[in-house]
Amino acid sequence: MTETVERPLARENSVGQPLRRKEDARLVTGRTNWTDNIVLPGMLHMAVLRSPMAHARITRIDVSGALQRPGVVAAYSAADLGDANGSIPCVWPVTDDMVSPPHPCLAIDEVRYVGDAVAVVIAADRYAAADALEAIDVDYEPLPAVVEMPAALAEGSPLVHSESGTNKCYTWEFGGGDYEAAKAKADRVFTRHYVNQRLIPMAMEPRAVVANPTGPDGEITLWSATQIPHVLRVLLALVTGIPENKIRVIAPDVGGGFGSKLQLYREEVLAVVIANRLGRPLKWTESRSENAQVTHHGRDQLQEIELAVTNEGKILGLRVDLTANMGAYLHIITPGVPLLGAFMFNSIYKMEALSFTCTGVFTNTTPTDAYRGAGRPEATFAIERIMDDLAAELGVDPLELRRRNWITHEEFPYTTIAGLEYDSGNYEAATARAVELFDYDGLRAEQKARRERKDPVQLGIGVSTFTEMCGLAPSRVLGSLKYVAGGWEHATVRILPTGVVEVVTGTSPHGQGHVTAWSQIAADALGVDPSAVQVIHGDTGTSPYGMDSYGSRSLVVGGVALVQAAERVVEKAKVIAAHLLEADAADLEYKDGAFNVKGSPGSSKTIQEVAFEAFTAHNLPDGVEPTLQANSTLDPSTFSFPHGTHLCAVDIDTETGMTKIRTYVCVDDIGKVINPMIVEGQVHGGLAQGIAQALFEEAVYDDAGNLVTGSLVDYLVPAAPDLPHFTTDRTETPSTTNPLGVKGVGEAGTIASTPAVVNAVVDALRPFGVDDVRMACTPERVWRAINDAGSKGGDRAAEGTVAYGGATTESTAGGQGDGIEKTGGQA
- Residue 456 or 676 having the CB closest to other proteins: 456
Least separation, in Å, of the C-beta of 721 and other proteins?
4
Least separation, in Å, of the C-beta of 767 and other proteins?
20
Least separation, in Å, of the C-beta of 726 and other proteins?
17
Contacting residues toward other proteins, per CB under 8 A: 126-127, 130-131, 287-289, 655-656, 658, 696, 700, 708-709, 713-714, 716-719, 721-722, 778-780, 783-784, 796
Least separation, in Å, of the C-beta of 131 and other proteins?
7
- Which amino acid is located at 297 in the chain? H
d(CA 56, CA 139): 9
Could you give the C-alpha distances from 333 to 140, 222, 242, 330, 482, in angstroms and in order? 30, 22, 23, 7, 11
DSSP 687: H
Cα 420-421-427 angle, rounded to 5 deg = 105
Handedness of CA 449, 452, 458, 460 (dihedral sign): positive
Q: What is the DSSP string of 699-722?
A: --B-TTS-BTT-STTTS----GGG
d(CA 552, CA 375): 13
Least separation, in Å, of the C-beta of 466 and other proteins?
25
Least separation, in Å, of the C-beta of 718 and other proteins?
5
d(CA 755, CA 690): 9
Buried b (16+ CB within 10 A) or exposed e, 545-574: bbbbbbbbbbbbbbbbbbbbbbbbbbebbb
- Residue 598 or 796 having the CB closest to other proteins: 796
Question: Is the bond preceding 776 in cis, omega lying within 30 degrees of 0?
Answer: yes
- Residue 87 or 289 having the CB closest to other proteins: 289
- Residue 127 or 180 having the CB closest to other proteins: 127
List the one residue out of 535, 174, 455 whose CA is nearest residue 338. Answer: 174
Least separation, in Å, of the C-beta of 694 and other proteins?
13
Least separation, in Å, of the C-beta of 638 and other proteins?
40
Q: Cβ-count burial of 455 within 10 angstroms (0-12 exposed, 13-18 middle, 19+ buried)?
A: middle
Within 8 A by CB and 6+ apart from 714, the residues are 700, 708
Least separation, in Å, of the C-beta of 681 and other proteins?
21
Least separation, in Å, of the C-beta of 714 and other proteins?
5
Helix (H) or strand (E) holding 116: none
Within 8 A by CB and 6+ apart from 550, the residues are 227, 228, 257, 259, 262, 370, 374, 472
Least separation, in Å, of the C-beta of 655 and other proteins?
5
Helix (H) or strand (E) holding 640: none
Least separation, in Å, of the C-beta of 151 and other proteins?
21
Q: Is 450 helix (H, G, I), strand (E, B) or coil?
A: helix
List the one residue out of 425, 444, 350 whose CA is nearest residue 645. Answer: 425
d(CA 536, CA 494): 11
- Residue 79 or 797 having the CB closest to other proteins: 797
Least separation, in Å, of the C-beta of 106 and other proteins?
21
Within 8 A by CB and 6+ apart from 478, the residues are 472, 485, 486, 487
The residues pairing with 138 across neighbouring beta strands, listed in sequence order, are 61
Least separation, in Å, of the C-beta of 805 and other proteins?
19
- Residue 634 or 782 having the CB closest to other proteins: 782
- Residue 70 or 215 having the CB closest to other proteins: 70
Q: Are 45 and 129 in contact (CB under 8 A)?
A: yes
First-to-last CA distance in the chain?
Answer: 86
Q: Are 647 and 727 in contact (CB under 8 A)?
A: no
d(CA 272, CA 224): 11
- Residue 408 or 656 having the CB closest to other proteins: 656
- Residue 20 or 288 having the CB closest to other proteins: 288
- Residue 500 or 704 having the CB closest to other proteins: 704
Could you give the C-alpha distances from 54 to 105, 110, 114, in angstroms and in order? 17, 10, 5
Least separation, in Å, of the C-beta of 223 and other proteins?
21
Least separation, in Å, of the C-beta of 722 and other proteins?
5
Least separation, in Å, of the C-beta of 448 and other proteins?
26
d(CA 266, CA 130): 18
| 592 torsion bin: left (phi>0), alpha (psi -120 to 50), beta (else) | left
Could you give the C-alpha distances from 161 to 39, 74, 138, 169, in angstroms and in order? 40, 30, 21, 10
List the one residue out of 75, 43, 71 whose CA is nearest residue 128. Answer: 71
d(CA 556, CA 738): 7
d(CA 573, CA 447): 64
DSSP 481: T
